[in-house]
Amino acid sequence: MRVAVCQLNSREERAVNLTVARELLERAAAGGAELAVLPEYVDFLGRSADAPKPEPVDGEFGAFFAQAARELGIWVHAGSFHEIGPDPDRTFNTSLVFAPDGGLAAVYRKIHLYDVEIAGRVSYQESRTVAPGRETVVAPVNGVPLGLSICYDLRFPELYRALAVGGAKILVVPAAFMMHTGRDHWEVLLRARAIENQCYVLAAGQIGDHEPGRTCFGRSMIIDPWGTVLAQAPDTVGVAIADLDFPRLETLRSELPSLANRRL
């Protein structure tokens, strides 16, 4: 399976962000990708006061990417967006996956919320405006089980083990990882999730400066089950593409059966 991760610099102009996202999906499809993954909050990354109104799963955001999947004939993981939440004060941070016919194949709501205080560097309380999801999600893409996660989930290995035990062979991580933590932790954590769960990892990140005063690390990448980086985006908006070899994955799981050998 050929896959792509798309790296964006989403800002406050939603229409512009969506136009760029569509262009990157077109580049992925032209490169032969069967599945393309977009970053967290692909349609808007800016001041909370200026955020678009939250939508249902079948709202304008979903319709836009369903149409893209259908017209391009590929699987589209639409990063994430602000879905209508459980109360007026909180949304969900939600990923949608669309099949090549435009049908909705999976919905995942971010479980772990980014509540962090790093003196002089990062102050962010995602839980003030976002409600946590409750369910892990593994969905078939071209018959291959895809495990879903979003950004800060990456720091919680028990989630990925649950996805692997649930059958996942690909783990997807749309993200807006901060520069301060990303430069030291992003690749290390992604490769660890790949190695310990013997899965491919597709990580699509936001890159560069965003309002207000936020800088994302980027370095979107595709990693194999041995922890080898197969493809990595440069530090700009763009697409990285790689081929996934599932017979190799099965060989690795057979030769080093760490999933089978685990003791609870």
Instruction: Tell me, yes or no, whether 262 lies in a domain.
Output: no
Instruction: Tell me, yes or no, whether 264 lies in a domain.
Output: no
Other residues' Cβ atoms within 10 Å of the Cβ of residue 100: 18
pLDDT digits (tens, 9 = 90+) for 201-223: 999 999 999 877 789 999 999 99
Instruction: Tell me, yes or no, whether 245 lies in a domain.
Output: yes
Instruction: Tell me, yes or no, whether 91 lies in a domain.
Output: yes
Other residues' Cβ atoms within 10 Å of the Cβ of residue 5: 32
Instruction: Tell me, yes or no, whether 59 lies in a domain.
Output: yes
* 192: containing domain: 2-256
Instruction: Tell me, yes or no, whether 48 lies in a domain.
Output: yes
What is the number of structural domains in the chain? Answer: 1
Instruction: Tell me, yes or no, whether 229 lies in a domain.
Output: yes
Active site (catalytic) residues = 40, 110, 151
> Which among 180, 186, 125, 115 is positioned nearest to 154, based on CA atoms?
186
* CATH number, domain with residue 125: 3.60.110.10
pLDDT digits (tens, 9 = 90+) for 5-59: 999 999 999 999 999 999 999 999 999 999 999 999 999 998 887 889 999 999 9
- Read off the pTM: 0.96
> Which among 243, 142, 238 is positioned nearest to 200, based on CA atoms?
243
Instruction: Tell me, yes or no, whether 13 lies in a domain.
Output: yes
